[in-house]
Amino acid sequence: MPKHLRMRQVTLLKITVGVVLFLIIALGVYVLASPLPPADVPLSSRVFDVNGKLIASLYSQENRVEAALTDMAAHFRDAVVAIEDSRFYEHFGVDPIAIARATYRNLKAGRVVEGGSTITQQLAKNLYLTPERTFERKLRELLLTLKLEARYSKEQILRMYLNAIYFGHGAYGAEVASQTYFGKSVRDLTLAESALLAGVLRVPGRYSPYIDPSAALERREVVLNRMAELGYITPEEAEAANREPLRLVGLKERAGRAPYFVDYVVQQLEERYEADVLRKGGLNIYTTLDLNMQSAAEEAFLQGLPVSFRDARGVTQPQGALVALDPTNGAIRAFIGGRDFSETQLNRALAPRQPGSAFKPFVYLAAIENGYTAVSTLVCEPIALPVTGQPPWTPTDYGNEDYHWRPLTLREALRISDNVVSARLNYELGPAKGIATAHNLGIRSKLAPHLSSVLGTNEITLLEMAAAFAPFANGGKRVEPLAILRVENRFGQVLEEHRPNVQKAADERATYIISSILQDVTKPGGTASVVGRTVERPVAGKTGTSLGNAWFVGYTPDLVAAVYVGNDEPARDIFGTGGGLAAPIFANFMKTALQDKPVREFTRPAGIAEVEICSESGLLATQWCPQESVYNEVFIQGTQPWQPCNIHTPWSNWQIPWPFSLPEPEQPSTETPIETPITESDHLEPAPE
């Protein structure tokens, strides 16, 4: 070859090499210098209970939970690398050997039987690219792959890949996939489960064990053999794992645990976070709910609801709700808003209803704080209470007897839930005092100071009632219902944190006296005696019944719970009382929820006097009082009676012979009007019980 031609070839070669080197350098500079585009990988937000147990996942389209590589079973990581990219730790993001091998096998088979994409290339596609097949997209995939390899370690790339890839049935990422198929965390997968899950990756619609169990098991065998071939496991381990039967958790649509509580939490968070952040931002939401108590509540609730029917909208009736919280700090421990969240999302724990006589303790507390005692007596007889601009209101008692026709102490009146004495007491106090006390204890709803408000004619939510009864259990301190403890972002940074809000609201001596009376409600003769028979520990509470509503709100020193049973259309009668419908649900819930807690008495505060009282006179018992009439009563120190019983005296049993016998007493009048007018209008129809 002539010299000038050789020189020309050398020159062309140098130019070509120079151009290639320039392109390589330019590519390297581009890869290293240009930033990666932002990856839009939505992560499910997760809601946890007070013990760190998962309650529910929040997501809009992709159910994805991020897990650290160290939190994934080693067998699972090895299985994915073995079957998806065996040279993952050796190549630079693109594997020429794998591409050549796949090309040869595809040409030989006449169809695509093997892919040459690496794990890094698949990650680039999942993070940044759309699924179309074009030359431009393949070029972008190559550049993004090189960028990923230049910026991240192999372990980081593998972690991102395993958290981004789709495993079928709406499961994105290894953690959700493991829960979907096996009901366990990815860290707990066995070798056989790891191989099956890794095998699903290639084509979830073909290898999912929910779709084709035989194909899934065959694919698992391929993965196990490949792991043994590469030295990740021994042939004996592969053979043993291949013999394991297929055990799946079952594919079903689940609303998650405590859906009404989760909905309540989401409503609060939506006020502070955008929907995309809440359902795609990978937030970790730690709540006060206790799933063990929630399970006890759900079991008692469903077993205790009466025989059901469907209303005009197709919703099962009667419905109901249950809320339980810690009286010391307001932390919500159990929360039910209806029978079935998938049927109706109306949260009845937050829906205002008339609580009936469950409201009475607020008025009686106001009375104790204003000089009345548990032995103060009022007569249960017809009484016409004047109402400005309306006919007088004459309250009656619930049941077959309208009146008791005798004086009742406040203890007895509250224990048997007497309407007449309660209405007279509310009149003497002034309705505003009972309303103010209810608000002080935690009721936020607007309450009208009617005479009949003592009978629960205002509408209040179940959550409010549970919180407002907490001061009776904790010594007079108001608590704010607390559902969310803290919220963290996907990186563990705390976005918000909440602490209990506890404030003094009532005289602890007065609340102790009310608790003493409300314990009688759960004993024989009270309107909720089933509670005392079932719970078998100090427990107090109050029933409430109005048309279409049955309530029981009760508590121990450790837990307060409110139960409501009723029809969504209140005008339809519930055909039952708070003692017959709501109290048994409360009792069964409390028995299970507190079974591991020691039995505790209500703490008696300083400044309480306990003396023996004669139930007939309300005065100090003497040696002449019948034993069945003597009981111990509690008072705020200084308010206890000092006079001895004036009914049972040394001469009370003397018989005066005729003709010196005393005249017969007059029969009680049928109406004792009180003429003093009031300024507030009143409901004409009282709530029963």
DSSP assignment string, 629-655: GEEEEEEETT-S--SBPSSS-TTTTPP
Rounded to whole angstroms, the Cα distance separating 422 from 453 reads 10
Rounded to whole angstroms, the Cα distance separating 321 from 332 reads 14
Rounded to whole angstroms, the Cα distance separating 80 from 518 reads 63
- Bridge partners, 542 (sequence order): 553
Q: E strands, 163-275, where?
A: 171-172
Is residue 318 reached through a cis peptide bond, with omega within 30 degrees of 0 on the bond before it? yes
**Nearest CA among 552, 555, 537 for reference residue 470:** 555
* 428 part of the active site: no
Rounded to whole angstroms, the Cα distance separating 435 from 449 reads 6
If you search the block for the tokens 């309660």, which residue do you land on?
422
Rounded to whole angstroms, the Cα distance separating 394 from 207 reads 75
Q: How many helices (H) and strands (E) does the chain have?
A: 22, 22
Q: Which helix (H) or strand (E) holds 628?
A: none
Rounded to whole angstroms, the Cα distance separating 153 from 155 reads 5
Q: Identify the active-site residue in 117, 357, 453, 516.
A: 357
Do β-strands 63-64 and 171-172 pair in parallel, antiparallel, or remain unpaired? parallel
The first and second tokens of residue 615, run together, are 């139930």
Rounded to whole angstroms, the Cα distance separating 50 from 278 reads 20
Rounded to whole angstroms, the Cα distance separating 426 from 441 reads 18
The residues, ordered by sequence, that sit 6+ positions from 509 with a Cβ below 8 Å of its Cβ are: 605, 607, 608, 636, 637
Q: How does 420-459 read in b/e, with b if 16+ C-beta sit within 10 Å?
A: bbbbbbbbebbbebbbebbbbbbbeeebebbbbbbbbbbe
**Nearest CA among 321, 333, 112, 92 for reference residue 202:** 112
Rounded to whole angstroms, the Cα distance separating 371 from 390 reads 31
Quote the Cα angle for 294-461-503, to 5°: 85
Handedness of CA 508, 513, 516, 517 (dihedral sign): negative
DSSP assignment string, 465-532: HHHHHHHHHHTSEEE--B-EEEEE-TTS-EEEE----EEE-S-HHHHHHHHHHHHHHTSTTSTTHHHH
Q: Identify the active-site residue in 45, 62, 66, 84.
A: 84
* 357 part of the active site: yes
The first and second tokens of residue 576, run together, are 């039952």
Q: Which residues are catalytic?
A: 84, 357
